[in-house]
Amino acid sequence: MSRSRFRLTLVAAIAALGVAATGCKKEEPKAPPEPPKTEEPKPAEPAADAAPAEAPAAASPTGDASPTAAPGAASPTAAPDAASVLLPGVNFMFVLADSPDAMALQKKNCDDEAKGDADKAKACMDKVATQGAKEGIRLEKEGDQWVFVSFGKKDDGTEELFIKGPVAKVDGPANVFKFKGSGPASGKQAVEMGLDKFDQAKADAMVMAIEVVDANTVAMPAPPPKGRLVYKKAQ
């Protein structure tokens, strides 16, 4: 849908340009009859028009100051480099409330199960959020080798590995850690996904990324319908 709307926007823009162009062509023939009218004593009027034009010019310094201030104001909110946030061994835990697509998916599932029972639907969502908060990601380093880890916390506090495997960094923006598998992975989900048997072609086609949003927040894009998954640094 977004692509179709974008295309329609382009068509509308092109159509608008076409109208503007034809408009200009229609104004050109009207220009010749105007010279005789310019002989009338109305040269003073353009000067009067020029005077108001000077007023905006006087206001322009303040207008120019605000755009230059905007970049300066935006710089403090710029995302930090991935290297300063994604330190080896630091856990980031999933936050359902900050992951709108995943939230919508789970809400639909809970609503379907509740069948109109609001209390049951709320209890279901609370359970999902609590469970989600026990799932996280981190990067580890074994010598010079980066390792990606996806895990969950059991009720007794012990950790259950979902995916753990060596990865190779891929060039990307400073605030993004892009990577792809570089060897067989272990863990429950790794086996289910077939990542326990390394395939270079599949690894090259499955480049992943951890985006640093701020000093305590990262995000990972996931295939639809989960969308962008947001994680917060464990305290």
pLDDT digits (tens, 9 = 90+) for 157-209: 899 999 999 999 999 999 999 999 999 999 999 999 999 999 999 999 999 99
Q: Taking the alpha carbons of 7, 9, 15, 17 in that order, is the dihedral positive or negative?
A: negative
What average pLDDT does the structure give for the chain? 77
User: For residue range 106-165, what is the model confidence (pLDDT) as tens digits?
Assistant: 999 999 999 999 999 999 999 999 999 999 999 999 999 999 999 999 989 899 999 999
If asked whether residues 71 and 183 sit together in one domain, one would say: no
pTM of whole model > 0.75?
no
Structural domain of 183: 82-95+133-233
Distance between CA atoms of residues 16 and 186, nearest Å: 57
Which residue is associated with the tokens 């880890």?
149
- In this structure, are 91 and 18 located in the same domain? no
Lowest mean pLDDT among 1-10, 67-76, 204-213: 1-10
- Please report, for the domain that includes residue 217, its CATH number: 2.40.128
Angle in degrees, CA 159, 165, 166, rounded to 5? 135
